[in-house]
Structure 1
């Protein structure tokens, strides 16, 4: 059959295509797709808008609403937050019956109801093909989807093939699910085919001539579960590259990526993380899975015969392990992570603000980011939140692509490298630093913690470490342990506890990277705390490969909380020197903060999503941090997790029972009760007996 000739005038007919989605991750692919579409459709105007931009840039929202008002083909996806829904709902409702097609998918029901594709709509009771599809999807159980993401994707591919042979509205239903296929495999090729397909099927009015120009080509299929390759022509595959004998000698790290970013070619931030880890001798397996359920990727690429083949896993997705922001299956995620049994970190690529805004923000992550990207993954068991990328508004050529935050990525790689080394090292060789607290200072509170008998618990912990294979020189008793720490050579140095090591002032001045900031607050080194003027003291005692130290006081004796709430301050010389000594001189493999709570996590800096200017991050650096924390104080425990990269180990508070009174006070209470219950006509002699008693 000979194809009918189409004039240049017909092909140039204007058509406005509008994409409204959550973020800008496909913008680069959209720009490239538009250039290809213009070859066949010179009149096309393809615009995309990201809801995450609207709060910071109200003009962007106005532009989006104006584009919707004149849009011919409108695609809306990933709108599930209330403020995003309210921002465009009325504009979508007003345009719905006047555009050629409106496709709303993977969004809240308030948005999905605006779908109109030929005779297929979603604004009424489900019937016919739609009701059939709901039954095929499976009934939810206990608030969770009836089918896994993997099964839903397989069904998504089968349905268009089945519906192809059913006439009527089913053809529009088929078009809806084909649209989902194009979008979920959103490469430059598939975005080009998506727009061409919708124009070919739904262009109407003066644009109907474009049906003869636009082509319908099936979605290109990519692996639902696969690996990403930094190098080579084939960036996406379903197999892991062969292992070089020299590669991964220091360990193996599994990375979880967003498939949509990899397909869209928006991967500079992923590449930077992979390169930084590989530079430390680590083998990296960058894996992805569709449908926001990462378990298939974990099972296929991070495990073998039910055993983990990686030493740590980092999620770069910004979402929970199972379910993403729309629903979160915490139980399934915890079961998967327990089976994996290696450190699991969830780090953040900024979606709701630019990297420039984050750098300047005293808060760090916005509340919505802290909720979706930090709090929900924490329910799974994730630790170590850290910003590793965002969109750089100072780079106009790449303002819509993710830009790696190099310093943060280096910190992440260094921190993961230490965790992997800790995982692989023999227990007898590991050096552990246990930190006790001294708060409030100068009040006899050294070695105390909320709801914890510190020295008894510490003694039991040392015994447990020894039984587990760590090299520990056990003291004879709790009293011996306490005296060796709180007394020892304290009188010789005029110190508050045993002096285990000293740091010469010249050494501190030469090695302290933030000396100028500390001196602006506390004067020249060594300051006035825990020093004899020539040296600074590290208080504590060594027990084999376990060092038990005392965290220095914050510095303000009369107002110890001042440092926590006043911005722009710095810790004392000895506070910073203590953590540097643990990391570099003692060379601890991990630190255990013992009890609730210390001061590290309350040092000045951002609240969540810290930078290299935040003191908790500077002090803990890449040292693996574990924190024994009271189970009844989750709010401050979260501060320790988020601001000092701590993994919490909970301890129960003492049981509550009726205290009652000592014998003398019990008798006094009884007499008071007798007095209060005396008869009004009691004789004077009777009253005298009560008083004398």
Structure 2
């Protein structure tokens, strides 16, 4: 019967990391464990290495994808490792092992799923549910026991380890709460007792992935919650699968929304093409704002880039959420590079982008104001494309502008917006109205411009 092992101090300062981990920039002892993770998980991984308390002869070598490309010793270190652990969700990590013929006969464990698990199995990767459980419930404590279990199995059977601790995969987080809440009523009971609670405050739902609740990432989430609360919002910060958060936490038993709007870090990998998620967003019926955590770039690289978000990331950060109805894509956090003070190991942690949060908060308040304002009192501007100037250039990539306007105006009228009754909404009448009063006139046709002005009602 193995004894459970829980490290005496998960928060062991990184200054002692040099006793248990090595870095790629200095000569490294062969053998041991190679751990390949995405850069966002490098900080908790390094904390776990420092706290694992392995025998002096067993080393854990940590690599991100960037480190693999930059370190000339990386290939030889991984080749000599007794066991390899790799987060195959990032295909570049598994591809590096395959391209450099680094799988071989020794154990290479996949820490979670990939786009094609079967192909990786054929290549020699092992998908062990018991090993993956540690990474699925990501925490420093679970990473410590993962490392110790791998060391026990592959290097020294006298090393003790604990089983993976099952953590909530759906719940509500708050930086001042002692634990995560697994139901909305229990969270609300606690939240109402906090100093300064205002039942009339606008209610904001924040959605993010459970994997962000680790050191190096959760701090940015907590900072955002604090900023929102300081600005007058009551915040319900939910983690878990998108559709479950929408249907189980942000809606009451009778289907009513528990929030006035949503700020979503999620909705990135599933979209409206997923029927369950599509119905969840529609049933919630509140604005969903697309919060972006930068992935490929550091915050400073994004700030300095003339392009902004890299084209590689646009599909999942902007396009997929847009299909779900998420609007106003806004980078509110990203990664910054730091280093382990003891070893010099390059690590990455998440950090808020304060200047975009500062611009976003007033807009969130305006969205709430619009939610509470009667439709008849709202003023709506509809913009359409007319470039270059001319009668036949009112279009948008072959979109039927006039019929689209007909559908939009009919819906607005049904929803209680003030659409003048004397304006016919059929496609032909709208076309004639726009061509007569709302199109660009080129400087080469001053007479045409004068005729439009004389008709009156020119936009």
Which range, TM-score by smaller chain? 0.7 to 0.9
Distance 2:411 2:120 in 1: 56
**Structure 1 runs not aligned, ≥5 long:** 4-10, 123-175, 323-327, 499-539, 542-548, 551-693
* Residue 46 of structure 2: aligned partner: 31
Q: Is the 8 A contact 1:391 1:402 kept in 2?
A: yes
Compared CA separation, residues 495 and 400, structure 1 to 2 (3 A):
farther
Q: Secondary structure at the match of 1:347?
A: strand
Q: Secondary structure at the match of 1:223?
A: coil
Picking from 250, 256, 260, the partner of 1:302 is 250
1:4-19 → structure 2 map (5 Å cutoff): 16-19=32-35
* Residue 153 of structure 2: aligned partner: 201
1:317 aligns with 2:269: no
Q: Secondary structure at the match of 2:295?
A: coil
Q: Is the 8 A contact 2:78 2:102 kept in 1?
A: no
How far the C-alpha of 1:447 sits from its partner, in A, is 7.8
Compared CA separation, residues 369 and 377, structure 1 to 2 (3 A):
same
* Residue 402 of structure 1: aligned partner: 350
* Residue 59 of structure 1: aligned partner: 70
* Residue 165 of structure 2: aligned partner: 220
Can you list the C-alpha shifts for 1:554-595, whole angstroms capped at 9, x where unaligned?
Answer: xxxxxxxxxxxxxxxxxxxxxxxxxxxxxxxxxxxxxxxxxx
Distance 2:339 2:284 in 1: 40
1:122-161 → structure 2 map (5 Å cutoff): none
Distance 2:83 2:39 in 1: 19
* Residue 362 of structure 2: aligned partner: 414
Q: Secondary structure at the match of 1:186?
A: coil
Compared CA separation, residues 86 and 179, structure 1 to 2 (3 A):
closer
Q: Is the 8 A contact 2:86 2:94 kept in 1?
A: no
Compared CA separation, residues 364 and 486, structure 1 to 2 (3 A):
closer
Q: Is the 8 A contact 2:294 2:335 kept in 1?
A: yes
Compared CA separation, residues 112 and 227, structure 1 to 2 (3 A):
farther
TM-score normalised according to structure 1 size: 0.51
Q: Secondary structure at the match of 1:345?
A: strand
* Residue 204 of structure 2: aligned partner: 253
Distance 1:447 1:329 in 2: 30
How far the C-alpha of 1:75 sits from its partner, in A, is 0.5
Distance 1:282 1:191 in 2: 35
Can you list the C-alpha shifts for 1:452-506, whole angstroms capped at 9, x where unaligned?
Answer: 575x98688667645532345555676997799669xxx9xx99977xxxxxxxx
Distance 1:483 1:15 in 2: 76
Picking from 94, 100, 104, the partner of 1:96 is 104
Can you list the C-alpha shifts for 1:238-274, whole angstroms capped at 9, x where unaligned?
Answer: 2424343843634322222121121345223222332
1:424 aligns with 2:376: no
Compared CA separation, residues 438 and 72, structure 1 to 2 (3 A):
same
State the superposition RMSD in angstroms: 4.0
Distance 1:457 1:114 in 2: 52
Picking from 330, 335, 345, the partner of 1:391 is 335
Q: Secondary structure at the match of 1:440?
A: coil
- Higher radius of gyration, 1 or 2: 1
Picking from 175, 179, 198, the partner of 1:230 is 175
Can you list the C-alpha shifts for 1:210-257, whole angstroms capped at 9, x where unaligned?
Answer: x32x212122221121111122443x3324243438436343222221
Structure with the larger RCO, 1 or 2 (CA within 8 Å, 6+ apart): 2
* Residue 415 of structure 2: aligned partner: 468
Compared CA separation, residues 352 and 89, structure 1 to 2 (3 A):
same
1:86 aligns with 2:34: no
1:377 aligns with 2:321: yes
Distance 2:60 2:414 in 1: 67
TM-score normalised according to structure 2 size: 0.73
Q: Secondary structure at the match of 2:329?
A: coil
